[in-house]
Amino acid sequence: MNGDVKQLQQQIQIQFHNRQLLKQAFTHASYVNEHRFSQHQDNERLEFLGDAVLELTVSEYLYNEYPDRPEGELTKLRAAIVCEPSLVKFAEVLDFGRYVLLGKGEELTGGRQRPALLADVFESFIGALYLDQGLDAVKVFLEKHVFSSLSPGGQLQMMDFKTELQEFTQHHNMGVLEYRIIEEKGPAHEREFVSEVYMGDESLGQGSGRSKKEAEQRAAAAALNQLKLK
Protein backbone atom coordinates (compact mmCIF):
# COMPACT_ATOMS: atom_id res chain seq x y z
CA MET A 1 0.00 0.00 0.00
CA ASN A 2 1.19 3.52 -0.72
CA GLY A 3 -1.74 5.76 0.18
CA ASP A 4 -0.81 7.72 -2.96
CA VAL A 5 -3.85 9.93 -3.55
CA LYS A 6 -2.24 11.43 -6.65
CA GLN A 7 -1.96 8.02 -8.29
CA LEU A 8 -5.48 7.13 -7.16
CA GLN A 9 -6.91 10.29 -8.70
CA GLN A 10 -5.19 9.50 -11.99
CA GLN A 11 -6.63 6.01 -11.94
CA ILE A 12 -10.25 7.09 -11.32
CA GLN A 13 -9.84 10.25 -13.44
CA ILE A 14 -11.24 12.51 -10.71
CA GLN A 15 -9.36 15.39 -9.15
CA PHE A 16 -10.43 16.18 -5.59
CA HIS A 17 -10.52 19.78 -4.41
CA ASN A 18 -9.78 18.55 -0.88
CA ARG A 19 -7.28 15.71 -1.13
CA GLN A 20 -7.43 15.18 2.61
CA LEU A 21 -11.01 13.95 2.23
CA LEU A 22 -9.87 11.38 -0.30
CA LYS A 23 -7.03 10.25 1.95
CA GLN A 24 -9.44 9.94 4.88
CA ALA A 25 -11.73 7.73 2.79
CA PHE A 26 -8.87 5.24 2.43
CA THR A 27 -7.63 5.37 6.03
CA HIS A 28 -8.63 2.38 8.15
CA ALA A 29 -9.16 2.73 11.90
CA SER A 30 -6.27 0.30 12.53
CA TYR A 31 -3.86 2.76 10.91
CA VAL A 32 -5.09 5.66 13.04
CA ASN A 33 -4.76 3.54 16.17
CA GLU A 34 -1.09 2.92 15.38
CA HIS A 35 -0.43 6.59 14.53
CA ARG A 36 -2.19 8.34 17.39
CA PHE A 37 -0.11 11.49 17.20
CA SER A 38 -0.64 12.03 13.48
CA GLN A 39 -3.34 14.14 11.84
CA HIS A 40 -5.00 11.14 10.20
CA GLN A 41 -8.73 10.49 10.59
CA ASP A 42 -10.29 7.10 9.86
CA ASN A 43 -12.99 6.57 7.26
CA GLU A 44 -15.85 5.41 9.48
CA ARG A 45 -17.80 8.69 9.41
CA LEU A 46 -17.39 8.92 5.64
CA GLU A 47 -18.62 5.33 5.37
CA PHE A 48 -21.77 6.31 7.28
CA LEU A 49 -22.40 9.20 4.89
CA GLY A 50 -21.51 7.24 1.78
CA ASP A 51 -23.99 4.51 2.66
CA ALA A 52 -26.82 7.06 2.70
CA VAL A 53 -25.64 8.75 -0.52
CA LEU A 54 -25.51 5.38 -2.28
CA GLU A 55 -29.03 4.51 -1.15
CA LEU A 56 -30.35 7.82 -2.49
CA THR A 57 -28.51 7.85 -5.83
CA VAL A 58 -29.22 4.19 -6.60
CA SER A 59 -32.88 4.68 -5.64
CA GLU A 60 -33.19 7.69 -7.93
CA TYR A 61 -31.52 5.85 -10.80
CA LEU A 62 -33.82 2.84 -10.47
CA TYR A 63 -36.91 5.05 -10.07
CA ASN A 64 -36.15 6.86 -13.34
CA GLU A 65 -34.77 3.88 -15.27
CA TYR A 66 -37.63 1.48 -14.53
CA PRO A 67 -40.87 3.52 -14.38
CA ASP A 68 -43.05 0.41 -14.65
CA ARG A 69 -41.42 -1.57 -11.83
CA PRO A 70 -43.36 -1.74 -8.53
CA GLU A 71 -41.82 -0.66 -5.24
CA GLY A 72 -41.05 -4.22 -4.16
CA GLU A 73 -38.99 -4.98 -7.25
CA LEU A 74 -37.13 -1.69 -7.03
CA THR A 75 -36.27 -2.47 -3.41
CA LYS A 76 -34.83 -5.86 -4.41
CA LEU A 77 -32.82 -4.32 -7.24
CA ARG A 78 -31.40 -1.67 -4.93
CA ALA A 79 -30.50 -4.30 -2.34
CA ALA A 80 -28.61 -6.28 -5.00
CA ILE A 81 -26.60 -3.22 -6.01
CA VAL A 82 -25.70 -1.91 -2.55
CA CYS A 83 -25.13 -5.26 -0.80
CA GLU A 84 -21.63 -6.05 0.43
CA PRO A 85 -20.71 -8.59 -2.30
CA SER A 86 -21.54 -6.05 -5.03
CA LEU A 87 -19.61 -3.23 -3.35
CA VAL A 88 -16.65 -5.57 -2.95
CA LYS A 89 -16.72 -6.32 -6.68
CA PHE A 90 -16.80 -2.61 -7.55
CA ALA A 91 -13.89 -1.92 -5.17
CA GLU A 92 -11.89 -4.81 -6.63
CA VAL A 93 -12.42 -3.64 -10.22
CA LEU A 94 -11.19 -0.17 -9.20
CA ASP A 95 -8.27 -1.72 -7.29
CA PHE A 96 -9.21 0.31 -4.19
CA GLY A 97 -7.59 -2.19 -1.85
CA ARG A 98 -4.04 -1.22 -2.80
CA TYR A 99 -4.57 2.38 -1.65
CA VAL A 100 -5.90 1.69 1.85
CA LEU A 101 -3.80 2.82 4.82
CA LEU A 102 -3.79 -0.14 7.23
CA GLY A 103 -2.27 -0.88 10.60
CA LYS A 104 0.46 -3.53 10.59
CA GLY A 105 -1.68 -6.10 12.37
CA GLU A 106 -4.57 -5.67 9.93
CA GLU A 107 -2.14 -5.88 7.02
CA LEU A 108 -0.58 -9.11 8.27
CA THR A 109 -3.97 -10.79 8.68
CA GLY A 110 -5.01 -10.07 5.10
CA GLY A 111 -7.13 -7.02 5.78
CA ARG A 112 -6.47 -5.57 2.35
CA GLN A 113 -8.53 -8.36 0.75
CA ARG A 114 -11.17 -8.54 3.47
CA PRO A 115 -14.63 -8.13 1.88
CA ALA A 116 -16.10 -5.97 4.66
CA LEU A 117 -13.11 -3.60 4.51
CA LEU A 118 -13.36 -3.22 0.72
CA ALA A 119 -17.11 -2.57 0.87
CA ASP A 120 -16.57 0.04 3.59
CA VAL A 121 -13.88 1.77 1.54
CA PHE A 122 -16.18 1.99 -1.46
CA GLU A 123 -18.87 3.63 0.68
CA SER A 124 -16.30 5.95 2.26
CA PHE A 125 -15.11 7.03 -1.16
CA ILE A 126 -18.69 7.85 -2.19
CA GLY A 127 -19.09 9.92 1.00
CA ALA A 128 -15.86 11.79 0.30
CA LEU A 129 -16.78 12.47 -3.33
CA TYR A 130 -20.18 13.79 -2.26
CA LEU A 131 -18.64 16.21 0.25
CA ASP A 132 -15.98 17.33 -2.20
CA GLN A 133 -18.01 17.73 -5.39
CA GLY A 134 -21.68 17.13 -4.67
CA LEU A 135 -24.37 14.70 -5.76
CA ASP A 136 -23.95 15.23 -9.51
CA ALA A 137 -20.32 14.07 -9.36
CA VAL A 138 -21.40 10.95 -7.47
CA LYS A 139 -24.01 10.21 -10.14
CA VAL A 140 -21.43 10.56 -12.92
CA PHE A 141 -19.07 8.20 -11.08
CA LEU A 142 -21.82 5.63 -10.48
CA GLU A 143 -22.98 5.83 -14.10
CA LYS A 144 -19.47 4.88 -15.19
CA HIS A 145 -18.57 2.27 -12.60
CA VAL A 146 -21.85 0.84 -11.25
CA PHE A 147 -24.88 1.48 -13.44
CA SER A 148 -22.93 0.42 -16.53
CA SER A 149 -22.76 -3.05 -14.92
CA LEU A 150 -26.52 -3.41 -15.02
CA SER A 151 -28.19 -5.43 -17.73
CA PRO A 152 -31.34 -4.12 -19.50
CA GLY A 153 -33.35 -6.18 -17.01
CA GLY A 154 -31.86 -4.30 -14.10
CA GLN A 155 -29.72 -7.11 -12.73
CA LEU A 156 -26.00 -6.80 -12.13
CA GLN A 157 -24.25 -8.60 -14.96
CA MET A 158 -21.46 -9.53 -12.56
CA MET A 159 -23.84 -10.76 -9.89
CA ASP A 160 -24.19 -14.44 -10.86
CA PHE A 161 -22.06 -15.60 -7.96
CA LYS A 162 -23.59 -19.11 -8.04
CA THR A 163 -22.26 -19.71 -11.54
CA GLU A 164 -18.90 -18.18 -10.62
CA LEU A 165 -18.65 -20.41 -7.53
CA GLN A 166 -19.63 -23.49 -9.55
CA GLU A 167 -16.93 -22.75 -12.13
CA PHE A 168 -14.35 -22.08 -9.40
CA THR A 169 -15.01 -25.35 -7.57
CA GLN A 170 -15.11 -27.38 -10.79
CA HIS A 171 -11.83 -25.87 -11.96
CA HIS A 172 -10.19 -26.90 -8.68
CA ASN A 173 -11.92 -30.33 -8.58
CA MET A 174 -13.36 -29.55 -5.17
CA GLY A 175 -16.62 -31.49 -5.21
CA VAL A 176 -20.39 -30.97 -5.37
CA LEU A 177 -22.11 -27.86 -4.02
CA GLU A 178 -25.39 -27.90 -2.11
CA TYR A 179 -27.50 -24.91 -1.03
CA ARG A 180 -29.70 -25.18 2.05
CA ILE A 181 -32.21 -22.69 3.44
CA ILE A 182 -31.34 -22.83 7.13
CA GLU A 183 -33.67 -20.13 8.42
CA GLU A 184 -36.76 -18.12 7.49
CA LYS A 185 -37.67 -15.08 9.54
CA GLY A 186 -39.87 -12.01 9.55
CA PRO A 187 -43.57 -11.55 8.66
CA ALA A 188 -44.94 -12.91 5.39
CA HIS A 189 -44.75 -9.55 3.60
CA GLU A 190 -41.13 -9.00 4.69
CA ARG A 191 -39.80 -12.53 4.63
CA GLU A 192 -36.06 -13.01 4.95
CA PHE A 193 -34.30 -16.22 4.01
CA VAL A 194 -30.89 -17.41 5.19
CA SER A 195 -29.02 -19.76 2.87
CA GLU A 196 -25.85 -21.75 3.47
CA VAL A 197 -23.76 -23.39 0.77
CA TYR A 198 -22.08 -26.68 1.58
CA MET A 199 -19.53 -28.97 0.02
CA GLY A 200 -20.11 -32.26 1.71
CA ASP A 201 -20.37 -31.46 5.42
CA GLU A 202 -18.29 -28.28 5.15
CA SER A 203 -20.03 -24.91 5.17
CA LEU A 204 -18.44 -22.57 2.62
CA GLY A 205 -20.56 -19.47 3.14
CA GLN A 206 -23.82 -18.02 4.32
CA GLY A 207 -26.07 -15.22 3.03
CA SER A 208 -29.51 -13.74 3.54
CA GLY A 209 -32.03 -12.07 1.24
CA ARG A 210 -35.68 -11.30 0.57
CA SER A 211 -35.93 -14.37 -1.70
CA LYS A 212 -34.35 -17.80 -1.67
CA LYS A 213 -32.46 -16.99 -4.88
CA GLU A 214 -31.05 -13.77 -3.43
CA ALA A 215 -29.98 -15.58 -0.27
CA GLU A 216 -28.24 -18.26 -2.32
CA GLN A 217 -26.44 -15.64 -4.42
CA ARG A 218 -25.13 -13.96 -1.29
CA ALA A 219 -24.09 -17.29 0.21
CA ALA A 220 -22.18 -18.04 -3.00
CA ALA A 221 -20.53 -14.61 -2.89
CA ALA A 222 -19.43 -15.19 0.71
CA ALA A 223 -18.06 -18.60 -0.23
CA LEU A 224 -16.09 -17.15 -3.14
CA ASN A 225 -14.58 -14.47 -0.94
CA GLN A 226 -13.43 -17.08 1.57
CA LEU A 227 -12.10 -19.55 -1.00
CA LYS A 228 -10.08 -16.87 -2.78
CA LEU A 229 -8.42 -15.90 0.49
CA LYS A 230 -7.08 -19.42 1.02
One domain for residues 71 and 140: yes
Residue 154 lies inside a defined structural domain of this protein: no
pTM, two decimal places? 0.68
End-of-domain residue from the set 121, 149, 177: 149
Number of domains in the chain: 2
Alpha-carbon distance of 164 to 73, in angstroms, equals: 24
What per-residue confidence (pLDDT) applies to 1? 41
What per-residue confidence (pLDDT) applies to 189? 64
Q: What is the pLDDT of residues 97-124, one digit of tens each?
A: 889 998 887 777 777 778 889 999 999 9
For the chain, the DSSP string reads ----HHHHHHHHT---S-HHHHHHHTB-HHHHHH-TTSS---SHHHHHHHHHHHHHHHHHHHHHH-TTS-HHHHHHHHHHHHSHHHHHHHHHHTTGGGG-B--HHHHHTTGGG-HHHHHHHHHHHHHHHHHHH-HHHHHHHHHHHTGGGB-TTSSBTT--HHHHHHHHHHHTT---EEEEEEEEES-GGG-EEEEEEEETTEEEEEEEESSHHHHHHHHHHHHHHHHHH-
End-of-domain residue from the set 118, 149, 180: 149
CATH of the domain at 137: 1.10.1520.10
Instruction: Using 70 as the pLDDT threshold, list the residues of the chain that sit under it.
Output: 1-3, 37-38, 151-159, 189-190, 230
What per-residue confidence (pLDDT) applies to 116? 85
End-of-domain residue from the set 119, 149, 179: 149
Q: Is 106 annotated as a binding residue?
A: no
What per-residue confidence (pLDDT) applies to 159? 54
One domain for residues 52 and 145: yes
One domain for residues 76 and 166: no
The residues annotated with a catalytic role in the active site are: 51, 123
What per-residue confidence (pLDDT) applies to 80? 84
Instruction: Give residue 202's domain range.
Output: 161-229
Q: Is 4 annotated as a binding residue?
A: no
CATH of the domain at 179: 3.30.160.20
One domain for residues 145 and 194: no
Q: Is 201 annotated as a binding residue?
A: no
Q: What is the pLDDT of residues 110-164, one digit of tens each?
A: 777 788 899 999 999 999 999 999 999 999 999 988 888 776 665 665 457 888 8
